[in-house]
Each structure stands twice: as C-alpha cells, then as structure tokens.
Structure 1
Amino acid sequence: MSTGELQTYSLVELAVERLRHEILSGHTDPGERLVEEQLTRRLGISRAPLREAMRLLAQQGLVEHIPRRGARVAILSDDDVRELYEVRDVLERHAASTMPARPDLTALRAALDVMRTATETGDRLELANAHRRFHTEVVALGGNRQLAELYGSVLVRIQLYMAVNMRREAEAARAEDGVARHERLFDAVERGDTAAVLEALSAHGARTYLS
C-alpha cells in the first residue's frame, strides 16, 4: 500500500469514527440527510474518502443511500427493531449454551469497568458503547467467531435505535440500575451457570421502548 493510499485510508477511518459518533450519540436524527458538500467541509476531507466512509457506514446499517436523493441516517421501523431484538436473543441463547466451563473473563471484566466509569461520569454514549462491548464479549465466549461478528453488527443497529431514546432512557431508569444488571450477568457467567445466564439475558435488554 502506497503512502497516498495509507493517508486516504486514515481519512476514511477518521470520517467513519466522527460520523458514527454523531449518529450513535443521537446528535443526528433518523432520516436526516447527510449532504456531501457540507460533510467534506466540516470534516476537512475530499469526496473520495467521504464516499468510502459512507459506504462502510451503510454496511453497518447506520446510513442509507436513497436513489437520486443521496444519503441519510438510517431509519428503523418498529418491525425492524422487533426483528433485531429477536435475532439478538437467538444468538445470545446459542452462545450461552456453548460457553466453556471456565472462560477467560478479562475482556468482559474490562467492559464492566468501563461501564462503571461511564456511569460515574454521566457519559451516556460511552455507557452505551460499553453495554455493546459487554454483550459482544459475552457472546464471544461461545467460541463462534462468525456468530460473534454477526451479533456485533446487530447490536450496532440496536444502538442506533437506542440513541434516539437516550433522553427517554435517562428519565425512565437510573444508569446505576444498568450496571447492576450487567454485574448479575457477569456473576452468572463467572459461575458457569448457564440457566442463570439465560435468565439474566431474558430479563435484560431495552424492550421497554418497544410498543
């Protein structure tokens, strides 16, 4: 890879991270148009890396390309959200049933620590990211890499939905309650209690936002 290609790739990564942060933090609304000229000026990049960044964000389910109308922040219907939660549940239950008796919990414990810190500082985006990392690490313990990657992509789209509800979440529940739920799930995983893991996962999640 040439120096020019490396520079372009780093610009693509920069654009992906900036736009992903804005979308998942709720700073942009579902359906909001992403105007190429405005984004190139704001991000300080040319059209080529921006278009590649938008393509990658579309693969993640965060951006939609509308024929003859350009790109916009993805919109999830009620059916989309229900289906995503159903897929999440299936993947979690399969992973829980295939966990080893003594899994390495280093990454899971680290995600829980980040969650506690984000709760103390009130950083709701970092808290949402930590929630996603924690659940991804739980599923990764099942040992199926392809399943874990699929699960991660499902969680990103769920986080897009949750970004819209961040203020509503803050009003409905304390962040400390979320940490306590994840601590119970961690304890069940640490004990190797599959039934308790499945019970914790079943009672977990943000279905309170579903109508």
Structure 2
Amino acid sequence: MSDGELAAYSLVELAVDRLRRDILSGRTDPGERLVEEQLTKRLGISRAPLREAMRLLAEQGLVEHIPRRGARVATLSDADVQELYEVRDVLERHAAGATSAGRDLSRLRAALDRIRAATDADDRLELANAHRRFHVEVVALSGNRQLTALYETILVKIQLYMAVNMRREAEAARAADGVHRHERLFAAVQRGDAAEIQAALSTHGARAYLS
C-alpha cells in the first residue's frame, strides 16, 4: 500500500469512527439525512473517503442509502427490533451450549474492567460499547468465528436502536446494577456451566441491552 493509499485509508477510518460515534451516542437521530457537503466540511475530508466510510457504515447496518435521496442514519421498526432480539437470543443460547470451563478468559475479564471504568466515568457511549464487547467475548468462547461476527452485527444494530434512549436508560437504573449483572455472568462463564450461563443470560434483561 502506497503512502497515498494509506493516507486515504486513514481518512476513511477517521470518518467511520466519528460517524459511528455520532450514531451510536444518539447525537444523530434514526432517519436523519447525512449530507455529503456538510460532512466533508465537518470532518475535513474529501468526498471519496467519506463515501467509502458511508459504504462501510451501511455494511454495519448503521447507514441506509435511499435512491435519489442520498444517505441517512438507519431506522428500525418495532418488528425489526423484536426480530433482532430473537436472533440474538438464539445465538447466545447456541454459544452458551458450546462454552466450557478452562478457556482463556483474559479478553472477557478486560471487557468487564471496561464496563467498570465506563460506569465510574459515567460515559454512556463507552459503557454501551463495553457491554457489547463483553457479550461478544462471551459468544467468542464458543470458538465459532462466523457466529461471533454475526452476533456482533446484531448487537451493533440493537445499540443503534437503544442510542436514542441512552439517557432514559441511564436514569431508570442504577449504574452499579449493570456491573453486578455482568459480574454474575462472568462468574457463570468461569465455572463453565452451560445451564448456569443460559440462566444468567435470561435474567440479564432480555430487552435491557444497555442497562
């Protein structure tokens, strides 16, 4: 890769990171138009890396391209969300059945530490990201990389849906509650008992992904 190609790729990564944070933090609303001219000025990049960033965000399910109308933040109907949760639950149950004791839990432990740190810092976006990373690491213990990749795309879309309610979710529950729930799930995984892991997941809050 040449220096020019590397620079262009770095600009794409920058745009993806900035726009993803805006979307998942609730700073931009579902359905809000993403105007190229405004974004190139705000991000300080040209149209080419911006369009590549938008393409990558569309692959992640965060951006939609509407014919003759441009791009917008993705929207999810109530039915979409219900289906996403159902798929998430199926994947979690399958992964729990394939998880056993004795696996390396260092990445899962690091994700739990991130949850604690984000809770202490009262950083809602980082907390949502840390929750997602923790659950992805639980599923990754199944050893099935394709399942893990699919699972993470589902969680990103759920996080998109929850982003607009982040403040309400934070006010409705004590911050420490989320830490304790993940600590209980970590302990279940550490023991390697599939039934206990599934029980911990089922009481984790079927519709409280960010809480």
Q: Same fold (TM over 0.5)?
A: yes
Q: Matched residue of 2:72: which SS?
A: strand
- Checking the alignment, whether the CA contact within 8 Å between 2:34 and 2:73 is kept in structure 1 is yes
Q: How many residues end up aligned between the 2 structures? A: 209
Cα shift readout 1:84-142 (whole Å, capped 9, x = no counterpart): 11110111110110013211110000000110011011001000000000000000000
The equivalent residue for 1:143 is: 143
The equivalent residue for 1:177 is: 177
Q: Distance in 2 between matches of 1:24 and 1:140?
A: 23
The equivalent residue for 1:121 is: 121
Cα drift, residue 205 of structure 1: 3.6
- Checking the alignment, whether the CA contact within 8 Å between 2:26 and 2:166 is kept in structure 1 is yes
Q: Distance in 1 between matches of 2:194 and 2:147?
A: 18
The equivalent residue for 2:65 is: 65
Aligned partner of 2:121: which letter? T
Aligned partner of 2:141: which letter? L
The equivalent residue for 1:74 is: 74
- Give 4+ residue runs of structure 1 displaced > 4 Å after superposition: none
The equivalent residue for 1:84 is: 84
Cα drift, residue 171 of structure 1: 2.1
Aligned partner of 1:199: which letter? A
Q: Matched residue of 1:207: which SS?
A: coil
Q: Distance in 1 between matches of 2:50 and 2:189?
A: 41
The equivalent residue for 1:134 is: 134
Q: Distance in 2 between matches of 1:208 and 1:17?
A: 25
Q: Distance in 2 between matches of 1:177 and 1:55?
A: 37
Q: Distance in 1 between matches of 2:96 and 2:125?
A: 27
- Checking the alignment, whether the CA contact within 8 Å between 2:101 and 2:189 is kept in structure 1 is no
The equivalent residue for 1:50 is: 50
Q: Matched residue of 1:64: which SS?
A: strand
Q: Normalising to structure 2: TM-score of the pair?
A: 0.97
Q: Distance in 1 between matches of 2:133 and 2:205?
A: 14
Q: Normalising to structure 1: TM-score of the pair?
A: 0.97
Cα drift, residue 208 of structure 1: 5.5
Cα drift, residue 24 of structure 1: 0.4
The equivalent residue for 1:17 is: 17
Q: Matched residue of 1:75: which SS?
A: coil
Q: Distance in 1 between matches of 2:151 and 2:208?
A: 21
Q: Matched residue of 1:204: which SS?
A: coil
The equivalent residue for 1:2 is: 2
Cα drift, residue 170 of structure 1: 1.5
Q: Distance in 2 between matches of 1:59 and 1:206?
A: 26
- Checking the alignment, whether the CA contact within 8 Å between 2:100 and 2:193 is kept in structure 1 is no
- How many percent of aligned residue pairs carry the same amino acid? 78
Q: Distance in 1 between matches of 2:208 and 2:73?
A: 23
